[in-house]
Amino acid sequence: MILDDRPSNLDHLHELKRLGSRIALDDFGTGYSSLSYLSRFPIDVVKLDRTFIRDFDNPLTVALTRGIVDLAHSLELTTIAEGIETDEQLRSLRTLGCDHGQGFGLAMPLPSGELAPLFDPLWQPRAVRAEHEPVDVAVESPVDVPVDPPGEVPDQAPTVSGGQPS
């Protein structure tokens, strides 16, 4: 595991940063992720675990998610919510100020040959307005769609046609 306390691991992470890589802390809020990682390692991105998004009907979960987003932003970190499956989840995350999102509600997994258009800076999902930056490709799902600033909710959530979630 790269996030254990061995000095060589920390050296490797700093070298990756020096070379221009961005470091993301995946599945934040569950399992092995820890608040102490935010101060011990050169993290750029906090990816909120999908279990937080799945349980958005629970006010406690929403409060925890708001706290994680606010904490990340106070540390000048980018936030990505994993597992967005509904328009309501997307709207809630926009309201909380989450920077980006991933999930079947934004795009379905695609064969590698269909990914090339997503790298085109002019390509945008149908409902993403022109002021958004280009879509980023992520490992777990095919697109990482920028989430509007807090308070701005478009008429329709971004969608990409495709198959059904498995």
Lowest mean per-residue pLDDT among 9-13, 58-62, 111-115 = 111-115
pLDDT value at residue 32: 65
Q: Which phi and psi angles does 23 have, rounded to 5°? A: -110, 125
C-alpha 30, offset from chain centre: 15
Confidence band, pLDDT 50/70/90 cuts, at residue 131? very low
pLDDT value at residue 139: 39
Residue reference for tokens 């992520």? 138
Q: Is the pLDDT of residue 14 over 80?
A: yes
Determine how many CB atoms are found less than 10 A away from the CB of residue 128: 23
What domains, with CATH codes, occur in the chain? 7-146 (3.20.20.450)
Residue of 5, 61, 11, 63 lying closest to 37 (CA atoms): 5
User: Mean pLDDT over residues 42-69, rounded?
Assistant: 93
Cα 102 from Cα 83, distance rounded (Å):
6
pLDDT value at residue 33: 65
The whole-chain average pLDDT of the chain stands at 76
**pLDDT tens-digit map of 139-150:** 344 345 555 544
Confidence band, pLDDT 50/70/90 cuts, at residue 50? very high
Q: Are 123 and 142 in contact (CB under 8 A)?
A: no
pLDDT value at residue 2: 56
Q: Is the pLDDT of residue 155 over 60?
A: no
